[in-house]
Amino acid sequence: MIDETVAEIEEMQTHSSSVVAVKAARALSELTGREYATVEEFVRDVERNSSVLRRANPSHASLYNVHRTITREVEEADPQTVEEGKAALTAAIDRVIERIDGGKKRAAAHTADYLEDGMTILTHDYSSTVNAAIERAVDGGVSLSVYVTEARPRLAGRKTARKLAAIEGVEPTLIVDSASGTYLGECDCVLMGMDCLVGETLYNRVGTYPIAATAADLDVPMYVTGSGAKLIDGGFVFENEYRPASEVLLEPAEDFAIENPMYDATPVRLLDAIITDDGAMSF
């Protein structure tokens, strides 16, 4: 389970960073089925496997937070036996999953309050929290039109468009990334998820920064939403991920290089609000 989860994270089979963090937390439950001679051996194995899962994607703040929390809580439980250690691990996993899932639901609820009937919004990439906020708003009687960027080269926006198309009351339109400036003038706001917020910088799927800059130029409000687990107060250094060139161009490149960064950095001064489970932070 752990090895499979590491491979899934490395291959980016899951687009939502919150979902990634939950899966990585659950993967550690595999250790409760292993045999250990001592509690010290068990705790070391928790730390080792937690580190392996965390390193599968160093850019995921929620992944970092989850495993830092789990290992800390197991250590602070000070188990005296292997069975006590396993119980402490199970409890820690359950707590962090509840925090993430509960945080996403509360963030979505706060975000839904920003969505009014008849609005046209633009979203980028795939965010389970954004989708939940839209669904919640629609359940409350709101109808929305949504422009969805493809989020090349992984094309996660297509998944978003299909998800939104299944929600009655939402009219999604899929657009290529470079067309966002063309349609932003028709939008009432931009709404997207986040990978993490570190200090005064939002790190999110590449393409976020130009959308934020264009929205600011056109006076279109931009809101970012996600669980508070994605806010980092220290000890974390964001590392951008550079994906294979084959995602951009299938045939070999001749006499030119290909860069395929996963994320970009957006200064919070370009945002109108970041909405988490604790409410909105305005800028």
What CATH number did the domain enclosing 244 receive? Answer: 3.40.50.10470
pLDDT computed for residue 239 by the predictor: 85
pLDDT reading at 17 higher than 80: no
Tell me, what DSSP letter sits at residue 50? Answer: H
Pairwise CA distance, residues 180 & 147, whole Å: 8
Domain range for 146:
115-282
Chain segment 147-171, per-residue pLDDT in tens: 999 999 999 999 999 999 999 999 9
- Helix spans in 56-81 (H): 61-77
The percent helix, strand, coil of the chain (3-state, each to 5) is 50, 15, 35
Over pLDDT 70: what percentage of the chain? 98
pLDDT computed for residue 107 by the predictor: 96
pLDDT computed for residue 147 by the predictor: 98
Pairwise CA distance, residues 18 & 246, whole Å: 26
Residue 171 CA: distances (Å) to CA of 151, 210, 270:
19, 24, 27
Place of tokens 């499979």: 4
140 and 95 within one domain? no
184 and 145 within one domain? yes
- Whole-prediction pTM value? 0.84
Helix (H, G, I), strand (E, B) or coil at 281: strand
253 and 131 within one domain? yes
pLDDT computed for residue 11 by the predictor: 76
Tell me, what DSSP letter sits at residue 172? Answer: E
State the chain's mean pLDDT as an integer. 93
Non-local (6+) Cβ contacts of 8 within 8 A are: 14, 23
Chain segment 210-267, per-residue pLDDT in tens: 999 999 999 999 999 998 888 887 677 888 989 999 999 999 899 999 999 999 999 9
pLDDT reading at 13 higher than 70: no
Mean pLDDT of the 136-143 span = 97
**Overall number of domains in the chain:** 2
CATH code assigned at 6:
1.20.120.420
52 and 147 within one domain? no
237 and 152 within one domain? yes
pLDDT computed for residue 10 by the predictor: 77
